[in-house]
Amino acid sequence: MSADPPPRRRFPAQWDAPGRPKAAGTSRDPLRPQRLLHQAAQDAARAVAPTGLGLDNGAVRERMVARLRAEGIRHPALLAAFAAVPRHRFVDSALAAQAYEDTSLPIGLGQTISKPSVVARQLQWLFDAPAAGRRGNLGRVLEIGTGCGYQTALLARLATRVISIERLQPLHELARRNLDATGVPGVRLVYGDGRLGHGPNAPYDSIVAAAGGEAVPEAWLQQLAPGGRLVAPTAMPGLSGHALVVVDRTADGFVRQIGESVAFVPLKSGLG
């Protein structure tokens, strides 16, 4: 009876992909090019996360609009603007999944993009002005604090002209990129001190501020057109944050109303 042949020696296998063994001790990986291509595709998908998450689908914005409508936002043009402007295009791609939640988000340099509900309430106050009701739009608008440009893009759909001023140059440049990328026309961006307003294009039918101060600056009041309305977050006694202050310029002077309490970044002077 002959002896069985000795068992054939086998090298241990290493597994670097499902179902594909690779001999131990070898340096060549035949699947490396495919894996690199796959990784590159994943990296590219992450770089364009907003579209990858389906946020360019208008249904996502429509849900936000339905929430605003349920909270009392009623002007059709205002709701249409929120439905049209892609908020996720104005925030960092890492935060895009939160773009249509009712929350403020950081945009850098200690600044934020305001909650959709707060932006909507400010703009609705502007639309409630008697002159705006007669015109059907916000007329010539001065925006104090461009930020990332989201509110600017909304205003561009609601006004005849928008002048937006930003004191922080990196944000001024960010807003320009965002507005160019989303194709927003009819907007003039100014790098300057928002507390001073922007005299060269005054007077304004509507003025809206995205930062809160101790009082409404005198320059804003003087640049407000007769019949115009200003909405700005302002510090109030007994409040830890701000309240929306609404100022109408009438033939007899300035008439003020106090709206709801809100939280905004502080209004500052100078350039940065």
Taking CA atoms, 164 is separated from 61, 71, 73, 204, 253, in Å, by 24, 27, 24, 12, 25
pLDDT tens-place values along the chain, 272 residues long: 444 444 444 433 333 333 444 444 444 555 554 444 444 434 433 333 344 457 887 899 999 999 999 999 999 999 999 999 999 999 999 999 999 999 999 999 999 999 999 999 999 999 999 999 999 999 999 999 999 999 999 999 999 999 999 999 999 999 999 999 999 988 999 999 999 999 999 999 999 999 988 999 999 999 999 999 999 999 888 777 789 999 999 999 999 999 888 888 889 989 98
**Length of the chain as a residue count:** 272
The greatest distance separating any two alpha carbons of the chain, rounded to the nearest whole angstrom, comes to 123
CB atoms within 10 A of CB 119: 23
CATH code given to domain 113-262: 3.40.50.150
Hunting for tokens 């001999």 — which residue is that? Answer: 23
Active-site residue identified among 27, 93, 114, 206: 114
Domain boundaries, the chain: 113-262
Q: Which of 122, 138, 142, 140 is nearest to 130 (CA)?
A: 138
**Residue-level pLDDT at 263:** 83
- 261 tagged catalytic: no
CA distance 193 to 8: 82
